[in-house]
Chain A
Amino acid sequence: MQEKPRSRIITVGGLVVTALGLLNSSLAHAQSESYTAPRLVNTEQPDLNGIWQALNTANWDIRPHAAKPSAIPELLGALHAAPAGPGVIEGGEIPYQAWAAEQQRENFAGRLTRPTDRETNETTGDPEAKCYMPGVPRATYMPFPFQIVQTPAQILIVYEYANATRIVHMDREPGSPVPSWMGWSIGHFEGDTLVVRVTDQVPQTWFDRAGNFHSESLVVTERYTPISPYHLLYEATIEDPDVYMRPWTVSMPLYRRIEENAEIMEFKCVEFAEQFMYEHLLEDSGESP
């Protein structure tokens, strides 16, 4: 009489142990093995169309971090204070070369440096404060949604932030004409995973508000894997031998925006950056024109 329930408990317990083991090894693989995304019309590709958004604090700092006050608490009080976060880097650390670790600290200290002339504008301050296009992978985890527009021949990613856009050339490799803020994206599918190699990004973009950075040698390899009808797993491997000692990887889930009639809003932040960037130009520069 008592055998049956016990064996059931054991069975259930075994499943739980197995599931936990899979969770520990890789949440993504456990789920992707059991989940098959719907196909894009008339193709064998998984359909990634939709509005997606990260839900984490990576834009404050992609590394593990404690909560912090804003840069100007005397004006903002607790507004714009940074929430704590466990980080999105596999292993928790960016393998900076020694000089680069120092550069990151300088970047953070000078994050609100207002550009005084064209040279300082090129080299200082958080590009987000100036509403510059965020680059890859930062565009993915800005606290704004983005839309994947997928057709059989190509993919366009439209980010709400700064209305940045990025064409992913699929199964073709046209050459990049010129370095750019959102880089040059060449993609293909490996199984149900969209793999995008992003090259030729300008060196001015940062990974977050903490000043984590890269050089023009940056190569980002992104992987977008559907793991449920409502989730993508996003992984990005960062290679830049001029700045890091070895490649490193960030990963996070992306959540489908399922609100009825969800749509990308317009966030043209240029107009919000102008006073910060240009106000001092209205005054006498002291030079004769």
Chain B
Amino acid sequence: MRNLLAAGLSLLLSAALVACGRMDGETTAVDAADDASSPAERVNAPSEQMTPWGHPDLQGVYTFATNTPIERPDALADMASFTPAELEALEASALARRRADVHDPAPGQLGSSYNAFWTENETGQLLARTSLITDPENGKLPPLTVNGQAILDAWLADRADRSYGEPPFAQIAYRSWFDLPAYERCVARPMPRIWQAYNHGAQILQTPDHVVLHYESMHDARIIALDDRPPLHEDVRFWNGSSRGRFEGDTLIIETANYANQWMDGGRSGPPIQFPMDNMKITERLRRVDEYTLSYEVTVEDTTIWTRPWTFEMPWVGDDPNYEFPEHLYEFACHEGNFRAIEDTLRGSYGLR
């Protein structure tokens, strides 16, 4: 009985610690993971490193939020990674910012941006690397092709034509819903899914012949066959592309093509994702690096847009206390709740024009 009581108390204390950590950002991610629950309670945590049929077991609930930028900032041009001391200082300032966002938001800020209270990403926020891009070595996207540059220039010119007022108060008018990014239309997320500030949970399920990546955002389930089936005919095009997978050693390799002939516009994230996708091929590599962490490495290849392939890598974090169990993936009823946003956007644009 004492043991049970102690266990119960310990659980309560742990829960309180986790709650403090969530609100104050004073508990590290590692602490939260230790306290959240025992492995036996984590229905999604891997109990074995291999499935009964001999595949590496990647199953679980993960998040892919990070504060590390896709491209290395110019100011850090010669610096591929932070020293431990620099990283610690950056994390401290991020925590301070987060604490301010939650407890003491600047006037007007809540209404104008997605602050840390909204994004509630607990872990995996900052890598030691200064960019998600690992190849090219300078951490930057490769140069655009002539075609890629022309597409970007045309997009920027069109956007300038629709801008009213002077930065930073410029407003963009939308001639129709087609001027909105696919994400804001609730049609699709940009591919590849590099990172996300919120709704950043995903679930991996495995059967002997399939791996399923189930994303909270856009309730997309990518069902990836592991047999040697041929690719779909080139006329069959999907916003999320068509994927085929295989295991090589400890790594799941997913190759995806057949993207829709659409612009996968990333909204305010800016390039690189404001390009047509129909010639894009991506290769994703998912591999377990420790009990709760996967490495997610993606190579993007589109010789009509970039002069060479490029690769980014980031963790999928399995111990984010906001996404611990499958029930923490909420229904992402984006389109079902979007009428008001589109109504206001188009009505407001009419007024601007």
List the interface of chain A (C-beta within 8 A of B): 41-42, 49, 115, 117-118, 121, 130-133, 147, 149-151, 153-154, 156, 158, 163-165, 167, 169, 172, 174-175, 177-178, 180-182, 204, 261, 263-266, 268, 270-271, 273-274, 277-278, 281-285, 287-289
Contact = CB atoms under 8 A, between A and B. Distances in A.
5 contacts: A132-B335, A151-B59, A153-B43, A265-B236, A282-B346
Nearest to B232: A263
A277 B52 CA distance: 49
B239 A149 contact: no
Nearest to A167: B326
B247 interface: no
Contacts of B82: none
B187 A117 contact: no
Contacts of A174: 325, 327
Given A163-B221, A182-B331, A132 B336 contact: yes
Given A165-B214, A274-B185, A177 B221 contact: no
B335 A266 contact: no
Contacts of B223: 147, 149, 158, 263-264
Given A149-B207, A149-B223, A271-B185, 10 more contacts: A41-B208, A49-B210, A117-B343, A118-B339, A165-B214, A167-B203, A178-B330, A268-B187, A277-B339, A281-B347
| Chain B interface, >50% SS class | mixed
A149 B212 contact: yes
A277 B342 CA distance: 10
A175 B325 CA distance: 12
A42 B50 CA distance: 13
B205 A151 contact: yes
A151 B343 contact: no
Contacts of A163: 218-221
Question: Chain B, interface size: which category?
Answer: 35 or more
Contacts of A117: 343
B330 A271 contact: no
Contact of A181 (B43, B239, B333): B333
B333 A115 contact: no
Contact of A41 (B52, B175, B336, B348): B52
B114 interface: no
Given A151-B206, A266-B239, A278 B330 contact: no
B167 interface: no
A67 to B, nearest CB: 31
A265 B233 CA distance: 12
B329 interface: yes
B68 to A, nearest CB: 29
B197 interface: no
B240 interface: yes
- 10 closest A-B pairs by CB: A289-B351, A266-B238, A180-B331, A174-B327, A281-B346, A158-B221, A42-B52, A261-B229, A121-B339, A118-B340
Contact of A289 (B52, B218, B350): B350
Contacts of A270: 185-187, 335
A282 B214 contact: no
Contacts of B119: none
Contacts of B185: 270-271, 274
A174 B205 CA distance: 19
Nearest to B209: A49
A165 B327 CA distance: 13
A196 to B, nearest CB: 15
A263 B212 contact: no
A28 B238 CA distance: 38
Contacts of B188: 268
B226 interface: no
A7 B203 CA distance: 62
Nearest to B182: A271
B63 interface: no
Contacts of A282: 175-176, 346, 350
B165 to A, nearest CB: 15
A113 to B, nearest CB: 13
A287 B343 CA distance: 13
Contact of A151 (B207, B229, B351): B207
Contacts of A261: 225, 229-230
Nearest to A267: B238
Nearest to B178: A274
Interface string B54-71: 000001000000000000
Given A165-B221, A263-B225, A154 B43 contact: yes
Given A118-B340, A149-B210, A266-B239, A156 B187 contact: no
Contact of A118 (B44, B239, B335, B343): B343
A265 B239 CA distance: 11
B65 to A, nearest CB: 20
Contacts of B331: 133, 178, 180-182
Nearest to A150: B207
A23 to B, nearest CB: 34
Nearest to A285: B347
B291 to A, nearest CB: 17
A131 B335 contact: yes
Contacts of B53: 41
Contacts of B236: 265
Contacts of A165: 214, 219-221
Nearest to B206: A151
A130 B337 CA distance: 11
A147 B221 CA distance: 10
A48 to B, nearest CB: 11
Contact of B350 (A118, A151, A273, A284): A284
